[in-house]
Structure 1
Amino acid sequence: MLSLAGRVMLAAALAVPSPDGLSQSLAPDQGQAAGPAVLETGHVDVGPRFRDGAFRVQIHDDEATPPVWRSPDEAVIRVRDTAAQEIPDDPAYAFLGAPAGTSVHVLPQTQREDVVWLGWNTQDPGLLERAGRGVTMNLRGVQGPGKLTVFLQSGTLGAPQVLWNSDDAYPQALWVDRNTHTHANWVFGAPGVYLVALDVTAELADGGTATASTTLRFAVGDAASPDEARAATITVASPSAAPAVPAADRGFPGWLLGVLGLAGLLLVALLVSVAVRGAAVRRRAERERASA
């Protein structure tokens, strides 16, 4: 079992960044970059945006000077071997699905100079003009040589909060308020190329919705090829027919909806039965009056 001091050190490495680290605003005139790019250090966010009248999911590259937006089809997020860490001997991290001491690649929640700092934001000025409460980010599938887990660590001793787990059923919904900037821990169970299918649905202020799909591309480990990641095609996921509803926004749990649906069917059957019996009684009464 990890000692208290060890847990403090580990949690500090994964702790929530300071407010100054997350405070940002995006200029409306930030450019759209074209051509392939490998993002392996610096600040990077995935974010929905409205551009040229279209809703799409893009990657905000804050490492470029000046910052730019990039297409996920052209940008590969590279996770170098400097991101390798060992899973601690602590049951709090059992959700990572590997024994203590296993080496995994981690994009941490706090920024490190030698590792890309990956998060997401809902701060595009075009989005802020049209969005209502926020957006739902649906993890639609993960293709890669190992497990992907995304989680938050709150404070130095707070329990981890799992947001996405590639071992669970899809889609996996994550609600994000408008004008939000968040970073989390991204844990890759084995080196290689990963493709992460993502749908983002925005609630609009006019009562409508807008949905966009994309695939994030990762080259994990120094031996993984960014070119291979850029050329790869995901085969484990297809576009969602409808976005999943985050648990916090569901009006009723699924089992209760099932019970209510069954009760409705039984009520309809009862009403039909009563109507049929009533008609039979009326017909018998009419025959008896005719005989009399």
Structure 2
Amino acid sequence: MGPRFVDGRWTFLIHDDVAKADASATSVWRYPDETVFHVVDAGELTAPDDPAYAFLGAAPGSTVWVSPQTQNPQVVWIGWNTQDPDVMAQIDRGITLTLHRVEGPGTMTVFLQSGSFGEPQVLWDSRTQDPQPVWVDVNTHTHANWAFTAPGVYLVELEASADLIDGSTVSDTQTIRLAVGSRTAPDDALAAAWSGPRATAAEAASHAAESSDAQDPLVPVLVGAIVVVAAGLVAGVVVVVVRGNRARRRALARSTEGRS
């Protein structure tokens, strides 16, 4: 996932890098409202009996569904990047990626871990009511652990914002759709709608300002430290895309052929 300038407008998109897994396919950028990340049962793990993982919200020994930080070819590999050439040329140092809210049947946490024995660093927790900003440096390609305590449909509201070198500020907020568990139908995630009211832009900005001072200073350091210049965002994954896209979306896909 990451920002691009589409017809001059800052737009938060999903990079479907299927060409890394299928030489006959073409990697494209897709719109979040027509894309689903399917975290299948191959991503099932057992919650460890370790206080360091209590943040997962899962009882020790119970099942959690994980899109891992280290690639498992059988599971969707979710990450974010700031590597689009136009983005790199126009942003001032980096972007802020903010989680505003999550709806789903269980708890979602996103965390980083350095190696097998490093202390987990939680970036996002669906139980937190305030916006949760994470700083992402320019020219960064990062993956994290996305953990879910129950199967089902999850809606995740993410905002990508940045200060540009010309002094202006840009922002785009999108809903990321996930179908967790092999028996969860991606079509259900595509059809899902928020059950509660969405925060206004003013409310979101107010919460972000209040929480920025309290942001853990280790977060931007760790995010920058685990830059991964690796295979594309999606390899060996199930990404479901609505067919019959409108003309402008077909044009977007054609315009990005050959760019990764």
- Which consecutive segments of 4 or more residues in structure 1 shift more than 6 A? none
Deviates more, 1:166-175 or 1:144-153: 166-175
- The answer (yes or no) to whether the contact 1:51–1:126 under 8 Å persists in 2 is no
CA RMSD of aligned residues (A): 1.4
Q: Structure 1 vs Structure 2: percent identity of aligned residues?
A: 54
Q: Does 1:59 align with 2:20?
A: no
Which ranges of structure 1 fall in alignment gaps of 5 or more residues? 1-45, 250-292
1:104-123 to structure 2, matched below 5 A, reads 104-123=64-83
Larger radius of gyration: 1
Tell me the distance in 2 between the aligned counterparts of 1:238 and 1:85: 34
Q: Deviations over 1:136-162 (max 9, x none)?
A: 111010000000000000122110000
Q: 2:2 aligns with which of 41, 47, 50?
A: 47
Q: Deviations over 1:258-292 (max 9, x none)?
A: xxxxxxxxxxxxxxxxxxxxxxxxxxxxxxxxxxx
The structure showing larger relative contact order (alpha-carbon pairs under 8 Å, at least 6 residues apart) is 2
- Cα 1:248–1:191 shift into 2, 3 Å: closer
- Cα 1:239–1:134 shift into 2, 3 Å: farther
- Cα 1:239–1:184 shift into 2, 3 Å: farther
1:141-290 to structure 2, matched below 5 A, reads 141-236=101-196, 237-241=198-202, 242=205, 243-244=208-209, 245=212, 247=215
Tell me the amino acid that sits aligned with residue 175 of structure 1: W
- The answer (yes or no) to whether the contact 1:140–1:239 under 8 Å persists in 2 is no
Higher helix share: 1
Q: Secondary structure at the match of 1:210?
A: strand
Q: Does 1:82 align with 2:39?
A: no
- The answer (yes or no) to whether the contact 1:152–1:184 under 8 Å persists in 2 is yes
Tell me the distance in 1 between the aligned counterparts of 2:186 and 2:199: 23
Q: Deviations over 1:86-138 (max 9, x none)?
A: 10111110111221101010000001111011100011112112111111111
Tell me the distance in 2 between the aligned counterparts of 1:240 and 1:83: 35
Count of paired positions:
204
Tell me the distance in 1 between the aligned counterparts of 2:216 and 2:95: 13
Shift of 1:49: 1.1
1:86-101 to structure 2, matched below 5 A, reads 86-101=46-61
Tell me the distance in 2 between the aligned counterparts of 1:126 and 1:238: 30
Task: Tell me the TM-score normalised to structure 2 length.
Answer: 0.75
Shift of 1:178: 1.1
Tell me the amino acid that sits aligned with residue 238 of structure 1: A
